[in-house]
């Protein structure tokens, strides 16, 4: 085994002041610099002199160009600038993500199911965005997912990325690589889907899918298991069977058996979120609907008219409806959202009537609160109908009765994000008992909580508690995580944490 390469000295770059080394790889070093104008911290990836032999300069330029095409996505690291230092080393100026990457976080302990689902949906949107640009990443793994200062995942390191139709297969990280890649074959879109699922598995299990505690875990061991062994169970009681099955399907040996796209994987993860009654994470993919050519106007005088469109039924699984041969005009389909009423109170026909399609311009101001938009739309329709009846009666000379007062049905407004409990703290009551207390977050309705101890080697199953304090019997160190549960069953993705020695 060759000794680890020592990082090269940081280059002097005009407009930047070096602060410290962030990390080193086989072909590049990453340093934290302060940019002087505008003032901000940036991460600068500098290629080594050894790596500039043969064709790495072209590869480095390709990485810069690929990431620049995708930098507007919130879950892809932003590229600011690329150039060559005075000593001949190419460098890339990137967004600095100060929080630990996912590989570092999972070394401490596995992540919670709600957080992993949210990370999965966001990253699947980023991967789908890359695929729509004709780019496959080829090296998705926890270490290549940074964390922004806002706690959002950010995909980086497109160093071995390529075009979706390319035949070449560059170097890969074996523990998260699909079977076709470890065999030296090209791994395209289906390979990225596999690697993303393997990454989510790692976040839940605390190890890569085919790693065995205690070993052996050599490159050959990984290769044989990836090619032959079924995906082992994650081994956590709080991971639902539907999520285990989804990740196993996304890591199928045959690329054809996996979800056909990162978008399909994202939608399937959203279904699991709904199953757990969690706040649904948005899928961020490029909106290309504006590229569709406008349908020719049948009459210039129709330019300012109001067009009433038919109601569109939305599949609860998130799949788009089949195209209608009678309607070739561009239209907007709303994604499924959680209803303010419990599912047990709705019939299938009621659910269908609530799925409403609107013009994009009308939907935009209320996009964040679909339930409220539907209530306003229904009220407006009622006013228009009632007004039409009154006017028609008056024109015929009929005596129109006063309209009966309308009844108001109270609605439940669901928060976009359920906050974690506030000011969680603990104290030792006596030698054998600890009590934890907290303040309820500002959420309407009755709240309850779930808690789990995290001071052991293994995270246990979450337990319910109606209100603080939480009393635990223990004479040693006690650490707990507490989450908020609304009366609609929504669970906070973030958690409050506290320890008592």
Q: Which residues are catalytic?
A: 138
Query: What DSSP state is assigned to residue 231?
Result: P
CA distances from 122 to 98, 205, 247, 292, 333 (A): 19, 20, 16, 26, 20
Torsion of CA 234, 239, 244, 246, to 10 degrees: -140
CA distances from 479 to 307, 433, 454, 492 (A): 59, 13, 5, 19
Question: If 0-12 CB within 10 Å is exposed, 13-18 middle and 19+ buried, where does residue 17 land?
Answer: exposed
Q: What is the DSSP string of 15-68?
A: TEEEEEEEEE-SSEEEEEEEEETTEEEEEEEEE-TGGGSSSHHHHHHHHHHHHH
Interatomic CA distance for residues 248 and 239, integer angstroms: 13
Torsion of CA 100, 101, 106, 109, to 10 degrees: 20
Of 302, 306, 304, the C-alpha closest to 380 is 306
Interatomic CA distance for residues 124 and 149, integer angstroms: 20
Interatomic CA distance for residues 329 and 327, integer angstroms: 6
Mapping DSSP to helix (H, G, I), strand (E, B) and coil, where does residue 334 land? Answer: coil
CB neighbour list of residue 347: distance below 8 Å, 6 or more residues apart: none
Beta pairing partners, 452: 481
Both tokens of 342, joined, read: 């419990």
Q: What is the DSSP string of 380-432?
A: HHHHHHHHHHHHHHHHTTPPPPPPPPPP--------SSPPPPEEEEEEEEETT
Mapping DSSP to helix (H, G, I), strand (E, B) and coil, where does residue 260 land? Answer: coil
């Amino acid at each position: 085994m060759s000794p680890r390469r020592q990082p090269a000295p940081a280059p002097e770059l005009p407009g930047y002041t070096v602060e410290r080394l962030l990390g080193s790889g086989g072909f590049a070093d990453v340093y934290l610099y302060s940019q002087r104008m505008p003032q901000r911290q940036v991460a600068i990836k500098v290629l080594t002199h050894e790596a500039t032999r043969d064709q790495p300069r072209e590869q480095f330029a390709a990485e810069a160009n690929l990431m620049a095409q995708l930098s507007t996505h919130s879950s892809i690291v932003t590229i600011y600038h690329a150039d060559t230092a005075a000593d001949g080393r190419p460098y890339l100026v990137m967004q600095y993500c100060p929080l630990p990457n996912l590989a570092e976080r999972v070394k401490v302990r596995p992540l919670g199911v709600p957080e992993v689902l949210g990370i999965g949906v966001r990253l699947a949107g980023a991967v789908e965005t890359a695929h729509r640009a004709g780019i496959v990443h080829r090296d998705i793994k926890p270490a290549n997912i940074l964390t922004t200062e806002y706690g959002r995942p950010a995909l980086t390191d497109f160093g071995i990325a390529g075009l979706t139709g390319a035949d070449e297969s560059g170097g890969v990280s074996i523990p998260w690589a699909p079977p076709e890649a470890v065999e030296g074959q090209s791994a395209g879109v289906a390979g990225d889907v596999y690697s993303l699922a393997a990454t989510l598995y790692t976040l839940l299990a605390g190890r890569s899918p085919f790693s065995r505690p205690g070993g052996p875990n050599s490159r050959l061991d990984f290769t044989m298991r990836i090619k032959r062994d079924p995906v082992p169970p994650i081994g956590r009681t709080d991971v639902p069977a539907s999520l285990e099955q989804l990740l196993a399907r996304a890591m199928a040996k045959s690329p054809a058996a996996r979800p056909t796209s990162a978008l399909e994987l994202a939608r399937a993860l959203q279904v699991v979120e709904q199953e757990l009654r969690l706040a649904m994470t948005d899928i961020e993919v490029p909106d290309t609907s504006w590229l569709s050519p406008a349908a020719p106007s049948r009459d210039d005088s129709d330019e300012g008219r109001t067009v009433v469109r038919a109601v569109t039924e939305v599949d609860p699984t998130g799949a788009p409806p089949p195209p209608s041969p009678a309607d070739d005009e561009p239209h907007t389909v709303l994604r499924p959202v959680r209803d303010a009423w419990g599912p047990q109170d709705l019939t299938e026909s009621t659910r269908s009537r609530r799925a409403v399609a609107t013009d994009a311009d009308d939907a935009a101001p209320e996009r964040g609160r679909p339930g409220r938009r539907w209530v306003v739309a229904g009220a407006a329709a009622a006013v228009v109908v009632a007004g039409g009846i009154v006017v028609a009666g008056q024109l015929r000379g009929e005596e129109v009765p006063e309209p009966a007062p309308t009844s108001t049905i109270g609605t439940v407004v669901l928060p976009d994000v359920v906050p974690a409990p506030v000011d969680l703290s603990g104290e030792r009551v006596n030698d054998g008992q600890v009590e934890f207390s907290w303040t309820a977050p500002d959420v309407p309705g009755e709240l309850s909580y779930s808690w789990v101890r995290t001071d052991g080697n293994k995270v246990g199953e979450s337990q319910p508690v109606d209100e603080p304090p939480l009393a635990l019997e223990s004479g040693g160190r006690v650490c707990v995580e507490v989450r908020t549960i609304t009366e609609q069953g929504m669970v906070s993705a973030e958690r409050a944490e506290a320890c008592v020695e």
